[in-house]
Structure 1
Amino acid sequence: MNYTDSNGLPDSISIAEYLFHRLKQLHIETIFGLPGAFNATLLDKLNEIPGLRWAGNTNELNAAYAADGYSRLKGLGCIITTFGVGELSAINGVAGSFAEHVGLLHVVGMPPTSAQTKQLLLHHTLGNGDYKVFHRMASEVTCYSTVINDKDLCGDEVDDCIAKAWTLQKPVYMGIPVNLVDTSVNSQRLNTALNLNLPSNDEQTENELVKQILQQLYKSKNPVIIADACVTRHRIVPETVELCQRTNFPIFATPMSKGAIDETLPNFGGVFMGSISSPEVREVVNFADFLIVIGCMLSDFSTSSFHFNYKTKECVLLYPTSVKFKHAIYPDLRIKSLMANLLRNLNESKIKYQSQPTPQMIIPRSELPSRHSLRHEWVWNQMSHWFQEGDIIITETGTSAFGINQTHFPHSSRGISQALWGSVGYTLGACLGASFAANEMARDQVTAVPHRVILFVGDGAFQLTVQEVSTMIRWGLTPYIFVMNNQGYSVDRFLHHRSNASYYDIQTWEYLRLIPLFGARHYETRKIVTVGDFLEMIHDPLFATNDKIRMLEIMLPPMDVPQALMDRWLTEQENKKRAAEESDGYTPNSEASSKKFCSDDISPAN
């Protein structure tokens, strides 16, 4: 980590300037949020720091989403809001970062301490004199929260907040009263690097656990590695790949970690999605005699659409700060140190596993008439052939989140999704943040290949956060925005089995006219209705060039869903029918209803 020292700075700087210089040292160069009465002085200081940029979002919720997307690529995101109304607008996005282990620093400009002490009736309060209420709310969705009020310790507090957000990969809340923004801090503090080290594991416990894991690993005949979301969040991708290469065990991703592991590895077997995985993937994972799950976010996950669990009895779950092995739980073990210990002691000569073919993701190039209407299954297969090395691929909760799992990512590609929190509309803001981060990474030559930022978002989700397209245009960002237009909330329609429910409908927009409406001058829009339209688009070499913002409206049937989701629904119907017949009970979905949902009207094209 390169640290900017205090050369050129006066001996004394404000606490706000100190905060921004610290963020800059971590290469956090874009700050998200909106101005307000109680954070304006903070923003004045931000503008004085060379190399920092104020994104200027359209609302605080979108700003939180953007900071989240930025953090997933750069390790930390920062959002600045005003007291009360601003911070509450952002809290849903902050909660998503908390749920999904994303490092976020939420800085809140607060009323002066004198007003708080006197409990004055100021705007943006609840009118009851309680100035701590929003801080208390934030404490439930942050790993640490504080309000700067000690002039002697404020520098330490800033360092502590940044370090916690970076190392723990969770949101941190830091309130700064407006009258303390100019509090003096010795600029020489910037010459001392932030302490970004996690506490050490108990050496004896770690060594004993590693020994047990290796014993099980050596004797296993059908072991499997699964990389979960925290592989990227807690920066253990290199260790995970090394374990995969040295053992040659089959490795799978989860929906939350797609793109974390290089899918061109010979022993990469695809995405494990529990009961809606492909039969080939389920066969390998479910019949493993030892399962090593790295970077666990959760051990089981249930929704109305699928069930996610591990059936193997011999299983080690490596969480960010704990481990579950067999029937024992080992708390306070940090995964980075544990993985290093495991690799240090791994002896490949003791491995009994005999290499076997890993399921391969074969993406068909199906031939369809050019006038054929589009279906999800066909579209996602074709997308696999259009993706390029280094792409950052963002998928919204809904059909896109399921469809993307059947695609193959090229080398150095990254995926961003919000599979656990699942806040509809998240991805448009995340796309903004990721676009900023991608530009900074390309400029700093962090990666050898340039990044295209590609967003797949349903029309319903798009309408929730559409304003942030204007921020993209304002900064000259060039993402690809694929609006998957299925006339409303298709996944909800499908899962609720209500094809005609009006509450899943939305107002039809002329989506492609929004780009010029928001002031774009250099852009491309296309409406894709048929197979011919789609093939013309992806075979156009100029379309693949990342030189302008693009919006593509992909027209899909209202009840069309990716095949994995449809297969799961059909399985559920069969299970319900069988259970009802066995108990002579009432079957909620009749055979006629099942046939309706399996009709050609919604079945993906072959």
Structure 2
Amino acid sequence: MTTSAVAQLQAEVTRLRHELSTIKAHEQAPESSETIFVGQYLVERLVQLGVTKMFGVPGDFNLGFLDFVEDHSKIEWVGNCNELNAAYAADGYARVKKGSLGVLTTTFGVGELSAMNGIAGAFSEHVPIVHIVGVPSTSQQKNKPMLHHTLGDGRYDAYYRAATQFTIAAASLQAKETAAAEIDRVLTECLVMARPVYLMVPTDLAYERIPSYRLKTPINAEPPQNDPDVEEFALDEIVKLVETAEQDAIILVDACAIRHNVIDEVSELVKRTGFPVYAAPMGKTAVDEAYERYGGIYVGSISHPDIKEKVESAKLILSIGALKSDFNTGNFTYHIPASRTVELHSDHTTVQYAEFPGIGMKRLLPKLTARLQPFRDDARELSVPPFVFPVPTEDTDIITQSWLWPRMGQFFRQKDIIVAETGTSSFGVLEVPFPTGAMFVSQILWGSIGWTVGSTLGVAMAGQDLGYKRTILFIGDGSLQLTVQELSVMIRSGVTPIIFVLNNRGYTIERYLHGMERKYNDISNWKWTHLLNTLGGEEGKTCQSHLVRNKAELSALLDDTTFASANKIQLVEMLMDPRDAPSALKRQAELSGKTNRYVAELPSGIGEAV
């Protein structure tokens, strides 16, 4: 049997053990004569998990279920402009609301398919979302009439089958006797695996009554226990490697440390051991960036030279929650071989070339911290270059990429959530040190342009729940045009993000990837400062728009206390050079261009009409 087959089998055994412990807990709960509607049961479960907002679009197959949502005092329906934006919003909400999940409700066929890109992105980036779909009644599914929103060929399971490609678990509720157990199963999988799940709720079944006693037993969201003997062996092997490395080890933190909720455990490891710590782009703010032993962002060959040298010369790398995608690794240019690497993941641990299936980092990290703490004094002898990004002195008053991002760093505060669109913004902000308690949100792996607009809505709402002070979005004019409608939902909902629009008249990241002068990378130039008023705001009262043409105007705005207080939604249009880009983006684009192997230049005349 291959190593991967063993790992898959071990993972399935672990999952089944976890599910069995949940079933036993329900069996021990005393039954009662109290009943509840299936739809109410689902809503109550979501409320128990800390969900305060449900995103989506109403449709005739989910309207009855939405009555239960609207009538509940602890959860709010947030109607979105379209299902794609709703999926993005649920994604952003889940990223901020650690330990909870995002919820999206759509209608059968037309609604759920519109949301699928957003669900796929959440799957790719390990984000827990419950996608609830209102579907035709159980009798209609059985008899298969040619209903609206169907394909007209009787395949009522087509959308379900499609959804299973982008979710970790799925359920089609068909009987009241099993409805509660199925709901609990998919919610448990969503939380434990940190990935989307899919739940079909038929119109008639939502109003069937079932016993309510299961609600007395909370959903078991804790990861499965590690096998104690295997875990101890893995710990011994890691400690031996640290000793062999003579304490010349560094910690590299990535996205899954955030997604699988081990931030507190990582913080303990970092501070109690004293090892230098770095982050991958998708792991930005997984570690306090004001911490004295934090060295910055490692992105393979496009890293700052000091960071690259420190990471790649270390004798041992403790990698936590790695997601080794192209944009997260400098186009796969990591120079840290397996022989010098220990990888900790949510469901397995790898020590050099040996894999330990089922040994998850949530339970391993505290024990590893205790075992490595004695190395603290020696580890602190390792130097860590200061993570700084000073504002450069430039001759021009044009807002340049090299000046913009360190200047923005001076604007950021503790308890800010900074959202950066894929491309210019996400690359530009990476090298900016964030204050303690600030959070970074971006979609570097899936990279769906326009994602940040809907996501910012969910981020801001989750941020309100958790006491974050400001939500700040950086987005290019091209990306904003894809999903701009959701600004109207922000206005209606009363959230107050600051939205910086980089007006560089097109898709700058794509210009660098290919086609600097091509028309397909151009867009229409909108009247950006009129948008908020058009989409339902009242300029000067509920919203405020600004146009900044140069460094002086932008600095004056950033220093304005009224603007910085973020007490209303604000949009700032910044005029920028279409050919300007962050240096990291330029290096990444060069590497990606080589990988894509586009023809450098077409011969004269090719492609023209003849």
Instruction: Give the TM-score of the pair, scaled to structure 1.
Output: 0.89
Deviates more, 1:556-565 or 1:262-271: 556-565
Structure 2: gaps (5+ residues)? 1-28, 603-610
Shift in alpha-carbon separation, 1:350–1:508, aligned structure 2, 3 A: closer
Whether 1:514 aligns to 2:531 is yes
The equivalent position to 1:27 in structure 2, one of 36, 45, 50, is 50
1:307 Cα offset (Å): 3.2
Question: Which residue does 1:474 correspond to in 2?
Answer: 492
The equivalent position to 1:257 in structure 2, one of 272, 283, 292, is 283
The equivalent position to 1:329 in structure 2, one of 355, 360, 377, is 355
Whether 1:17 aligns to 2:40 is yes
1:401 Cα offset (Å): 1.1
CA distance in 2, matches of 1:305, 1:234: 23
Shift in alpha-carbon separation, 1:111–1:208, aligned structure 2, 3 A: same
CA distance in 2, matches of 1:109, 1:97: 21
1:538 Cα offset (Å): 1.0
Question: Which residue does 1:279 correspond to in 2?
Answer: 305
Whether 1:414 aligns to 2:432 is no
Whether 1:132 aligns to 2:132 is no
CA distance in 2, matches of 1:269, 1:345: 23
1:487 Cα offset (Å): 0.5
Contact 1:109 1:177 in 2 (8 A): yes
Structure 2 residue identity aligned to 1:451: K
Deviates more, 1:244-253 or 1:217-226: 217-226
Indicate the SS of the match to 2:156.
Answer: coil
Whether 1:96 aligns to 2:121 is yes
CA distance in 2, matches of 1:19, 1:272: 42
CA distance in 2, matches of 1:304, 1:192: 42
1:264 Cα offset (Å): 0.9
The equivalent position to 2:576 in structure 1, one of 556, 562, 568, is 556
Contact 2:90 2:103 in 1 (8 A): yes
Question: Which residue does 1:502 correspond to in 2?
Answer: 519
Instruction: Write the mapping of 1:166-565 to structure 2, written as runs, cut at 5 A.
Output: 166-221=191-246, 222-298=248-324, 301=326, 306-312=331-337, 313-349=339-375, 352-353=378-379, 355-368=381-394, 372-442=397-467, 450-496=468-514, 498-521=515-538, 522-565=542-585
Shift in alpha-carbon separation, 1:287–1:460, aligned structure 2, 3 A: same
Contact 2:269 2:366 in 1 (8 A): no
1:342 Cα offset (Å): 1.4
1:11 Cα offset (Å): 2.3
Indicate the SS of the match to 1:478.
Answer: coil
Shift in alpha-carbon separation, 1:569–1:178, aligned structure 2, 3 A: closer
CA distance in 2, matches of 1:378, 1:509: 25
Indicate the SS of the match to 1:346.
Answer: helix
Structure 1 residue identity aligned to 2:303: S
Shift in alpha-carbon separation, 1:295–1:67, aligned structure 2, 3 A: same
Question: Which residue does 1:600 correspond to in 2?
Answer: none
Question: Which residue does 1:604 correspond to in 2?
Answer: none
Q: Give per-residue Cα distances to partners, 1:351-387, cap 9 Å, x unaligned.
A: 7545232121222233446x71111110001011110
1:344 Cα offset (Å): 3.6
Q: Give per-residue Cα distances to partners, 1:76-100, cap 9 Å, x unaligned.
A: 1000000101100001000011010
1:247 Cα offset (Å): 1.7
Indicate the SS of the match to 1:127.
Answer: coil
CA distance in 1, matches of 2:286, 2:526: 35
Contact 2:300 2:330 in 1 (8 A): no
RMSD: 2.4
Indicate the SS of the match to 1:471.
Answer: helix
Indicate the SS of the match to 1:141.
Answer: coil
1:153 Cα offset (Å): 1.7
Deviates more, 1:191-200 or 1:61-70: 191-200
Structure 1: gaps (5+ residues)? 1-5, 443-449, 577-585, 591-606
Contact 2:417 2:472 in 1 (8 A): yes
1:187 Cα offset (Å): 2.7
Question: Which residue does 2:61 correspond to in 1?
Answer: 38
Contact 1:480 1:551 in 2 (8 A): yes
CA distance in 1, matches of 2:54, 2:333: 36
1:273 Cα offset (Å): 1.1
Q: Give per-residue Cα distances to partners, 1:434-466, cap 9 Å, x unaligned.
A: 011111222xxxxxxx42000001111100000
CA distance in 1, matches of 2:168, 2:318: 27
Contact 2:340 2:352 in 1 (8 A): yes
Indicate the SS of the match to 1:45.
Answer: helix
1:257 Cα offset (Å): 1.3
Whether 1:48 aligns to 2:71 is yes
1:323 Cα offset (Å): 1.8
Indicate the SS of the match to 1:55.
Answer: strand
Contact 1:68 1:102 in 2 (8 A): yes
Contact 2:548 2:572 in 1 (8 A): yes
The size of the alignment, in residue pairs, is: 564
Shift in alpha-carbon separation, 1:227–1:58, aligned structure 2, 3 A: same
CA distance in 2, matches of 1:261, 1:388: 16
CA distance in 2, matches of 1:275, 1:352: 28
Question: Which residue does 1:599 correspond to in 2?
Answer: none
1:175 Cα offset (Å): 0.3
1:512 Cα offset (Å): 1.2
CA distance in 1, matches of 2:117, 2:505: 26
1:345 Cα offset (Å): 3.2
Contact 1:297 1:319 in 2 (8 A): no
Contact 2:297 2:303 in 1 (8 A): yes
Indicate the SS of the match to 1:527.
Answer: strand
Deviates more, 1:253-262 or 1:180-189: 180-189
1:524 Cα offset (Å): 1.4
CA distance in 1, matches of 2:387, 2:459: 27
Shift in alpha-carbon separation, 1:321–1:175, aligned structure 2, 3 A: same
Identical counterparts, % of pairs: 37
Indicate the SS of the match to 2:207.
Answer: coil
